[in-house]
Amino acid sequence: MNTDLSKLVDESIRLELYVADIYMIFYKIFPEDSVFWWKLVLEEKHHAALIESIKNTVFSNELFDTSFQVLLITNNKLASLINEYNQNPPSRESAFNTALEIEQSTGELHVQLVMEKSAGTIAVKIFQELNSDNKDHLNRIRSYMATNGIEIRNSITK
């Protein structure tokens, strides 16, 4: 794997772990939603492990539609959110809306292009599974919010 592609894969792993860290914060501060957040934490960590497991396989540049710069910017924003939420926990509504934004973001859905490719390699199959999981997270978050009377905002300030 060339150096640029290796950096892109590393940033993809870091992205999944940052998302898990944010959901872990929510798990700790919202006991009424802890089971929901804990499941998402485990799933995001599983995503990182899947990416790590295929890190040393042969990747092609076409596998990733997202540039390294986009992942870096997204990861920096997530790192800032982690720091902010560790110091100033968000409201419950804000936490859920942040989760929606994360799951909708280009960075979290960096494997969108792979969905259009045939599942010829193990790497493509794994990224297709991750993309499907991301869509599932988005739907589950929306459903949980609706069931529990948590307002979905149109835009997130962060």
- Amino acid 47: pLDDT: 85
| Angle subtended at Cα 144 by Cα 97 and Cα 114, rounded to the nearest 5 degrees | 70
Write down the pTM of the prediction. 0.80
DSSP-assigned states of every residue in 82-116: HHHHHHSPPPHHHHHHHHHHHHHSTTTTTTGGGGG
CA 118 to chain centre: 23
One digit per residue, the tens of pLDDT, for the chain of length 158 reads: 566 667 878 888 899 999 999 999 999 999 999 999 999 999 999 988 888 887 766 555 555 555 677 778 889 999 999 999 999 999 999 999 999 898 877 545 554 445 445 555 666 666 666 666 667 788 889 999 999 999 998 654 33
Q: Whole-angstrom Cα distance, residue 64 to residue 145?
A: 31
Torsions phi, psi for 106 (to 5 deg): -60, -40
Q: Whole-angstrom Cα distance, residue 79 to residue 127?
A: 23
Q: Whole-angstrom Cα distance, residue 110 to residue 130?
A: 10
- Amino acid 112: pLDDT: 47
Q: Whole-angstrom Cα distance, residue 47 to residue 131?
A: 10
Q: Is the backbone of residue 149 left (phi > 0), alpha (psi -120 to 50) or beta?
A: left
Q: Which of 77, 79, 105, 94 is nearest to 26 (CA)?
A: 94
Q: Which of 102, 111, 116, 133 is nearest to 54 (CA)?
A: 111
Query: CATH number of the domain at 3-147, please?
Result: 1.20.1260
Amino acid at 128: Q
Domain boundaries, the chain: 3-147
